[in-house]
Amino acid sequence: MRTRSETKRREIVRVAAKAFEELGYERTSMLTIAERLRGSKQTLYNYFPSKEDLLGAVLAEGVAETARTSLAEFLVEARKDLRRALIRGGVGYLTDQLSPATIALIRTVANMPADSKLGAQFYEDAIRTAWQRVADCFETLMEEGRLRRADPWLAALHFKALNQLDLYERRLLGADSAPDAKAIKRTATSAADAFLRLYGADDAPDTGHRS
């Protein structure tokens, strides 16, 4: 069971995420967030010493929540139809990464002062942790003979890169608008097929039909 403190913290993170998305990081003050929470700034500072710390929590929670919900479903589906699970995983990843809210937050982190620890903290606590969970899923599938044995961390990074192509850079740099659902599905499908050429086990159990 969550304590009242944990529940309050998650509420603060949720409200802050919405404020950052709507107003931008620079235009969102701790007072703005406190007012949206109908509380005091002091209460806010009891949980987060600074706005930068709060942004870090928003970023980490967003990545963690996506990883928690999607990877449990991925492993179950992968045992039935590995290719379909990889495609759905890629679609989910790209949809989240290319969304306006995620792109705006990543741009904010990239624009932090050089002496800020936020970027390194975000990578270690959120991004690396999330992809380690993907690697753990791949390791399980390797042990079950559904993927060939290899370095699971490297396999996770290959899967990530195959899905990103240049979509992420174009979106991040404003060279392209968010791809439509068909473009995302097409990219995720090609990524899944390339990944299986790299890591698919020749003697893997039958996991469904190609479509």
CATH code of the domain in which 26 resides: 1.10.10.60
Are 158 and 130 part of one and the same domain?
yes
Same domain, 68 and 146: yes
**Has residue 72 got a pLDDT over 90?**
no
Would the pLDDT of 207 be above 60? no
pLDDT digits (tens, 9 = 90+) for 141-170: 999 999 999 999 999 999 999 999 999 999
Give a yes or no: residue 163 inside a domain. Answer: yes
Whether 8 and 100 map to the same domain: the answer is no
Q: Are 45 and 60 in the same domain?
A: no
Report the distance separating Cα 59 and Cα 47, nearest Å.
16
**Looking at the structure, do residues 70 and 19 belong to the same domain, yes or no?**
no
Predicted pLDDT of residue 69:
63
How many domains in the chain?
Answer: 2
Write down the pTM of the prediction.
0.81
Say yes or no: 11 and 67 in one domain.
no
The verdict on residue 94 lying in a domain is yes
Kindly state whether residues 79 and 4 are assigned to the same domain: no
Joined together, the tokens standing for residue 47 give 């949980």
Instruction: State yes or no: pLDDT of 205 exceeds 80.
Output: no
For residue 116, what are the domain limits? Answer: 52-199
Question: 24-28, 87-91, 152-156 — which is least confidently predicted?
Answer: 24-28
Residues 88 and 190 in one domain: yes
Say yes or no: 121 and 23 in one domain: no
Bridge partners (DSSP) listed for residue 200: 147
CATH of the domain at 89: 1.10.357.10
Q: Are 79 and 183 members of one domain? A: yes
What HEC string does the chain produce? CCCHHHHHHHHHHHHHHHHHHHHCCCCCCHHHHHHHHCCCHHHHHHHCCCHHHHHHHHHHHHHHHHHHHHHHHHHHHHCCCHHHHHHHHHHHHHHHHCCHHHHHHHHHHHCCCCCCCHHHHHHHHHHHHHHHHHHHHHHHHHHCCCECCCCHHHHHHHHHHHHHCCHHHHHHCCCCCCCCHHHHHHHHHHHHHHHHHHHECCCCCCCCCCC
Claim to verify: residue 33 and residue 61 sit in the same structural domain: no
Do 10 and 105 belong to one domain? Answer: no
